[in-house]
Amino acid sequence: MVRIQCQNIKCDGCVKKINDALLEKYPTLRVDKAQQCVEVEAEGSEVELIKDKLRALGFLAPSGILGKMKGFLKL
């Protein structure tokens, strides 16, 4: 089981948005609103695909130096 720490999971609508995007392909997916994380049974490249999807949905900070700068500067 992989745990991916997320951000901005604030309501049941957020949980639904994540489930709608990922649950069909990853039936073990579990969204924890209180802990703001996603748990799923996945390996290697699957984890990266899940992270990419979460990033595109706005629940995971952009990666790399540009993403860190954006987060720091609130762009």
Query: Running along the chain, 75 residues long, what does each successive block of 10 average in pLDDT?
Result: 94 97 96 96 93 95 58 49
One-letter amino acid at 58 equals G
Distance of alpha carbon 75 from alpha carbon 59, whole angstroms: 16
- Tell me what pLDDT residue 55 has: 95
Enter the pTM of the model. 0.80
Residue 8: which region, alpha, beta or left (left: phi > 0; alpha: psi -120 to 50)? left
Confidence at residue 75, expressed as pLDDT on a 0 to 100 scale = 47
